[in-house]
Amino acid sequence: MEKTDNYALQASQAQAHFLTYDQETLIRKCDLQADKNYLYPTLFGLCYRIDRKTGQIQRKDKDAWQKADFNEIMTILDIVCDCREDRSLTGRWNGMQNFGHQFHQNLLEEEDPFAAYFDKDPSLFRKACRALGGTEIPGADMGYAIEVMPGLKIAVQFWHSDEEFPAQVRYFWDENALQFIRYETMYFAVGRLKSLLLTRSML
């Protein structure tokens, strides 16, 4: 219960933070569609709306609007509010662990149940990445670049297990990714991506 409350509190703080910004500036900076009630960002190819009065976020699911989850809220609001106006890409990938601290690097080296799931049937990884509009990239046994939000992609690479090493999934961002998204928020984006890949693999 305490964790859920903490997540809700953090999301509420992010929504309140959004309300401190000049929304016309955000619309222009992020090239967002908007009307008098909402801003309309996208995340991993899905449509969202941010309430201009409350900061609350909903995701469009077929013909209905559903409440966004924690990872969606944090990723969208971080990028919309705090990406740099002069942001640019280098076109060179950098491992996610290289953006952060040693503690987080160690976390990325642990055995990953997510990778183990796709190791049972790697074709599901390909299917899920393509369902999200991923484009194939070189490296690893399989790799795809997937759009997070317009102008920013994440590369996800899969390695099969062998006699010595478990299956691995690794994440890469453009060298200038921190102009778009904070390091801590990369984890929220990856959390949402993993959820989507699992869902798409089951369709």
pLDDT in tens, 20-43: 999 999 999 999 999 999 999 999
- Is the pLDDT assigned to residue 185 strictly greater than 90? yes
Q: What is the mean pLDDT of residues 127-148?
A: 96
Is the distance from CB of 181 to CB of 171 less than 8 angstroms?
no
Across 186-203, average pLDDT: 96
pLDDT at residue 18 greater than cutoff 70: yes
Question: What does the pLDDT average to over 45-64?
Answer: 96
Name, in order, each residue with C-beta under 8 angstroms of 15's C-beta and a sequence gap of 6 or more. Answer: 54, 55, 56, 57, 73, 77
The two most distant CA atoms of the chain are separated, in Å, by 58
Host H or E run for residue 171: strand 168-174
For residues 153 and 147, what is the distance between their CA atoms, to the nearest angstrom?
A: 4
The Cα 100–Cα 143 span in angstroms is: 22
> 57-92: b or e for each residue (b if 16 or more CB lie within 10 Å)?
bbbeeeeeeeebbbbbbbbbbbbbbebeeebeeeee
Q: Please give the model's pTM, rounded to 2 decimal places.
A: 0.92
Phi-psi bin for 20: left (phi > 0), alpha (psi -120 to 50), beta?
A: alpha
Q: What is the mean pLDDT of residues 167-191?
A: 96
Calpha distance 180→148 (Å, rounded)? 11
pLDDT range class, residue 103, cuts 50, 70, 90? very low
| Helix/strand/coil percentages in the chain, nearest 5 | 45, 25, 30
The mean of the pLDDT values for the chain is: 92
